[in-house]
Structure 1
Amino acid sequence: MEKEKLRQRAISRLQKIASNEERHAQIEIILAKFFQSKTWEKADSIGLTMATEFEFPTSPVIKRALDMGKRIAVPKSLPKGQMVFHWIDDESAFYTTKFGVAEPATENIARPDELALLIVPGLVFNHEGYRIGFGGGYYDRYLANYSGETCSLVFADQLIEEWQIEAFDQPVQQLFLS
Structure 2
Amino acid sequence: MQLTKKEARKQIIGALANVDPEKKREATASLYQQLFDSAEWLNANVIATTISQSIEVDTKPIIRRAQAENKRVCIPRTLADWQMEFVELNEQTELIKTKHNLFEPANGNVISSAEIDLMIVPGVAYTADNFRLGFGGGYYDRYLAGYSGLTISLALPQQRNDNISWAIKPYDININHILVATEEDK
User: Which TM-score bucket, shorter chain as reference?
Assistant: over 0.9
Scaled by the length of structure 2, the TM-score of the pair is 0.92
- Residue 91 of structure 1 deviates from its aligned partner by 4.2
Unpaired runs of at least 5, structure 2: 182-186
State the Cα RMSD in Å.
Answer: 1.1
1:7 is the counterpart of 2:20 = no
Within 5 A, what are the aligned runs for 1:105-116? 105-116=106-117
Counterpart contact for 2:160–2:180, Cα < 8 Å: no
Corresponding residue number in structure 2 for 1:170: 173
CA deviation digits over 1:38-79, x for unaligned, max 9? 011001001111101111111111000001100000000111
Counterpart contact for 1:88–1:106, Cα < 8 Å: no
Corresponding residue number in structure 2 for 1:135: 136
Please give the secondary structure, in 1, of the residue aligned with 2:7. Answer: helix
Scaled by the length of structure 1, the TM-score of the pair is 0.96
Q: Which amino acid aligns with 2:14?
A: S
Among 15, 18, 23, the residue aligned to 1:16: 18
Please give the secondary structure, in 2, of the residue aligned with 1:39. Answer: helix
Corresponding residue number in structure 1 for 2:71: 70
Within 5 A, what are the aligned runs for 1:88-103? 88-103=89-104
Aligned residues: 177
CA deviation digits over 1:70-114, x for unaligned, max 9? 000000011111001000114422111111111012231000001
Larger relative contact order (C-alpha < 8 A, sep ≥ 6)?
Answer: 2
Counterpart contact for 2:124–2:159, Cα < 8 Å: yes
Q: Which amino acid aligns with 2:178?
A: L
Identical residues among aligned pairs (%) = 33
Counterpart contact for 1:74–1:86, Cα < 8 Å: yes
CA distance in 2, matches of 1:97, 1:160: 30
Unpaired runs of at least 5, structure 1: none
CA distance in 2, matches of 1:14, 1:93: 29
